[in-house]
Amino acid sequence: MAFYSEKVMEHFANPRNVGEIKDADGVGEVGNPVCGDMMTFYIKVKDDKLDDVKFKTFGCGAAIAVSSMVAEMAKGKTLDEAMLLTNAQVAEALGGLPPNKMHCSNLGADALHKAIENYKSKGK
């Protein structure tokens, strides 16, 4: 059975950047009403760059791997660069996802973008 790529399995087994940033500059939460999975991203911004990115994901293995990959890809990027990160790029970086798991990858970049929008809405 090869439903998941090695990269997905690896990020699922060893997710990076799990947790919450207590004094986060921005928080973004998205959920999928069908499966009930939820993802929250926390960001710390410094000099217009993502200084730190953490997440909490209540979801399936693919959602956890996606969160881990998004956090890793986003860290160190400028806010504008991070806004350009797409769900498709994340799925690709994970070596693809099974078709019935593509919706899981749709949560990742969306949650990150929401956290950035939340930061911007504070007018800092």
Residues known to be catalytic: 35, 104
Q: Is there binding between residue 38 and ligand FES (CB under 6 A)? A: no
HSE value, Cβ hemisphere, 13 Å, CA-based, for 105: 21
SS3 label, residue 12: helix
Closest contact distance (angstroms) between CB of 35 and ligand FES is 3
Residues 40-59 interacting with ligand FES (rule: CB under 6 A): 59
* Helix 102-121 with 61-74: angle, nearest 10 deg: 40
CB distance 112 to 28 below 8 Å: yes
Tally of CB atoms within 10 A around 19: 12
Q: Is there binding between residue 37 and ligand FES (CB under 6 A)? A: yes
Q: Is there binding between residue 104 and ligand FES (CB under 6 A)? A: yes
The window from 30-38, 46-54, 90-98, 111-119 that contacts ligand FES (CB under 6 A) reads: 30-38
Q: Which residues bind ligand FES (CB under 6 A)?
A: 32, 35, 37, 59-60, 62-63, 103-104, 107
